């Protein structure tokens, strides 16, 4: 049994990762600050779902609303929840002092392109300073293996497709993208100076069960389900490389195994599908799955939104056998099925 620290482990991707690490018999320390970007009870439900194998008596409960109580009741030999902020060095030191951590999977961040334009200082504070704190905690406590979530947004409006890890990514068009590029550079700095083996994972538009309620697919499904009007920015021609959560988790676990087996590793790796879907085709797929015609309000394109994302995943395949398995229609069906069984308000 190894001990893994997952930051943002109560979120969409993080809760799925914790679930798989627990299923493999490992110990998980989940650091999450339960910020107010969306209802914190969503994250509590994520924890109850992801720890069902460890705490079956909790899985059937609706939602304990007290985080202090939740920290106590989910404490076990295999799982520990720490409500803490990665911007607090003292809080991180307390965790790393009390645990022998084998590797860190750093997923915690302020996410979203458009909100980063409204509050770039917050994004710099959480994403850059918070990541630097994680790296400092690792350095001080002798943890030398980590994965960090980057983003396809670092490619900006790259004209060359599909996007390759060798492409120049110096032309971000949002503060969010700029913070993710900064994290990649910090990762290389600590690799070079302190021998912290690193893989930066550039995620491409992740969707699936437990997806954050503020993301497009979740919002659109909810609006279609309620007969509400959908907002479409532009003419619906923007394209995204939508990646199902199960494929992302397989990629993370593959990268984790790779970095644990190697010495002196720094890699930047795309995790996507090597396929793109237009916004109009996304809406059409949701209409077909739900059986409802969308009412669409068309607005101008938003600042910071890229025209397309399109991943070259050959490097991930070469390094650790990454091969996405879930086609878009299947992934959408799985998400809508999950949504219908988990409506909350």
pLDDT at position 302 is 82
116: nearest Cα among 54, 178, 200? 178
Query: How do the pLDDT tens digits run along the chain, 345 residues long?
Result: 999 999 999 999 999 999 999 999 999 999 999 998 888 888 988 998 898 766 665 544 444 456 777 777 777 889 999 999 999 999 999 999 999 999 999 999 999 999 999 999 999 999 999 999 999 999 999 999 999 999 999 999 999 999 999 999 999 999 999 999 999 999 999 999 999 999 999 999 999 999 999 999 999 999 999 999 998 888 889 999 999 999 999 999 999 999 999 999 999 999 999 999 999 999 999 999 999 999 999 988 888 888 999 999 999 999 999 999 999 999 999 999 999 998 764
Q: Would residue 321 be called left, alpha or beta, if left means φ above 0 and alpha means ψ between -120 and 50 degrees?
A: left
Pairing of strands 277-278, 27-32: unpaired
Distance CA 43, CA 32 (A): 9
Give me the catalytic one of 176, 207, 310, 322.
176
Kind and range of the H or E run holding 324: none
269: nearest Cα among 142, 161, 154, 138? 154
Residue linked to tokens 């993208």: 177
3-state secondary structure of 257: helix
pLDDT at position 270 is 98
Distance CA 163, CA 157 (A): 10
| Strand partners for 297 | 231
Homologous superfamily of the 3-206+243-274+308-325 domain (CATH) = NAD(P)-binding Rossmann-like Domain (3.40.50.720)
The model carries a pTM of: 0.95
284: nearest Cα among 241, 232, 206, 344? 232
Extents of the domains making up the chain? 3-206+243-274+308-325
Kind and range of the H or E run holding 278: strand 277-278
pLDDT at position 74 is 77
pLDDT at position 265 is 97
User: Per-residue DSSP letters for 58-110?
Assistant: HHTS-----HHHHHHHT-SSSEEEEE--TT-HHHHHHHHHH---SEEEE----
Quick one: how far is CA 168 from the chain centroid?
Answer: 23
| Sequence-ordered list of residues with C-beta below 8 angstroms from that of 135, at least 6 positions apart, any chain | 146, 186, 187, 190, 196
Pairing of strands 266-271, 229-233: unpaired
Q: Does the annotation mark 176 as catalytic?
A: yes
Residue linked to tokens 């705490």: 55
């Amino acid at each position: 049994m190894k001990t893994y620290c997952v930051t943002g482990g109560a979120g969409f991707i993080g809760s799925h990762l914790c679930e798989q690490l627990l299923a493999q018999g490992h110990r998980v320390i989940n650091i999450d600050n339960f910020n107010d970007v969306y209802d914190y009870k969503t994250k509590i439900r994520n924890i109850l779902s992801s720890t069902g194998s460890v705490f079956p008596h909790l899985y059937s409960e609706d939602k304990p609303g007290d985080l202090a109580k939740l920290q106590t009741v989910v404490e076990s030999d295999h799982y520990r929840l720490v409500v803490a902020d990665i911007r607090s060095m003292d809080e991180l030191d307390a965790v790393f002092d009390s645990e022998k951590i084998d590797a860190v999977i750093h997923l915690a961040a302020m996410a979203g392109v458009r909100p980063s334009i409204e509050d770039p200082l917050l994004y710099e504070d959480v994403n850059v300073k918070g990541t630097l704190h994680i790296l400092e905690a690792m350095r001080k406590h002798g943890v030398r293996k980590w994965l960090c979530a980057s983003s396809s947004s670092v490619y900006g409006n790259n004209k060359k497709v599909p996007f390759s890890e060798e492409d120049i990514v110096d032309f971000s068009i949002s503060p969010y993208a700029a913070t993710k590029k900064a994290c990649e550079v910090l990762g290389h700095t600590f690799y070079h100076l302190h021998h912290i083996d690193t893989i930066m994972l550039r995620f491409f538009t992740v969707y699936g069960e437990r997806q954050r309620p503020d993301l497009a697919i979740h919002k659109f499904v909810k609006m279609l389900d309620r007969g509400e009007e959908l907002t479409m920015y532009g003419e619906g021609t923007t394209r995204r490389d939508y990646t199902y959560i199960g494929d992302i988790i397989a990629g993370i676990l593959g990268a984790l195994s790779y970095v644990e087996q190697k010495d002196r590793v720094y890699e930047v790796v795309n995790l996507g599908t090597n396929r793109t879907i237009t916004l109009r085709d996304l809406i059409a797929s949701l209409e077909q799955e739900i059986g409802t015609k969308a009412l669409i309000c068309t607005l101008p394109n938003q600042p910071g939104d890229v025209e397309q994302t399109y991943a070259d995943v050959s490097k991930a395949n070469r390094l650790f056998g990454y091969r996405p398995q879930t086609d878009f229609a299947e992934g959408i069906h799985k998400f809508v099925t999950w949504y219908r069984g988990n409506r909350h308000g």
